[in-house]
Homo-oligomer: A and B are copies of this chain.
Amino acid sequence: MKEIKIHEVGLRDGLQMEPESIPTITKIQWAESLIDSGIDILQLGSFVNPKVLIQMADTDELFEHFNQPENKPKNTILSALILNEKGLERAMKANVDMICLGVSASETHSQKNTRMSVQQASEKIINIAKDAISAKKQVQASVQSAFGCGFEGDIPEENVYTIIDKYLNAGIKIISLADTAGYANPAKVERMFSKIAQMDNNIELACHFHNTYGLGIANVYAAYKVGVKYIESAFGGLGGCPFTKVAAGNVSTEDILTMFQEMGIRKDINIKKIKSVSLYAEGFLMKELPSYTYKNNGIKH
């Protein structure tokens, strides 16, 4: 049986698109329940300019809270997303366990997000990653829009492998493919991760899927089958773009855990604790979340 690790990103990727900011005290309560559930990695937020993304303005504060000895999780790694040198500086100060960063494989997406070409962004991000590795941090580097881009459509798979080759040369071992636009399909997931797994013996693979076309869970299963270890997901299936009708949230942590636990895997994680956060968030955000499992409270899981 293959080993998997759940990387809960709801507090970051789930909340960054919400029109309103969640109070820090509420985030702490949600984080505590998520930690109690027994998940492996919890992404508390991102170190971005608070003027650009007010929803993430309290990331330093959240780390300060959970760095205090009485609050420090015993078995859960705390991660954060960073975009630039300033973010790394803040992450170092906040004593983040695991630093996540990435580059888009799409030129258009890269320009819109970073005002840099893929080549320029890769160089910059790799330099930051090297600094983080030198500082003995766990580093995960991702390729965004790895399976296609909302602006450009299909992205040549070779472009993705080129970025990963650079990551590996820089000594990065945890590599994530992110399906930013929800364009992945299980056959492509199997093909690309199988190919990447062969690029380095020590590579550890991670996946990040959105459920735009309902294929998120099938993609997670396909990724698991070919050895992907880290599964990124969000409680309640939170996340996605608020500007469309599309329910394009992250794959839901409860749903993927339902799948894995039905398959006999990671039965140590308490799904009820995660669902409690989804139900709390549903009330707080005053909207129904897309997760299937949390709606089925008491029926099976």
Minimal beta-carbon separation of A21 from chain B (angstroms): 27
Contact B296 A255 (CB under 8 A): no
Contact A259 B185 (CB under 8 A): yes
A171 in contact (CB, < 8 A): no
Contact A295 B246 (CB under 8 A): yes
Q: Number of contact residues on A: which range applies?
A: 20 to 34
Of residues 197 to 217 in A, which have CB atoms within 8 Å of B's CB atoms?
Answer: 211-215, 217
A46 in contact (CB, < 8 A): no
Contact B258 A214 (CB under 8 A): yes
**Stoichiometry (number of copies):** 2
Minimal beta-carbon separation of A266 from chain B (angstroms): 13
A293 in contact (CB, < 8 A): yes
Task: Name 19 interchain pairs, CB-CB below 8 A, sorted by A.
Answer: A183-B300, A186-B259, A187-B263, A213-B262, A213-B293, A213-B296, A213-B301, A214-B255, A214-B291, A214-B292, A215-B217, A215-B258, A217-B218, A218-B218, A218-B221, A218-B259, A221-B221, A221-B222, A247-B292
Residues of A within 8 A of B (CB): 183, 185-188, 211-215, 217-218, 220-222, 244-247, 252, 255, 258-259, 262-264, 291-293, 295-296, 299-301
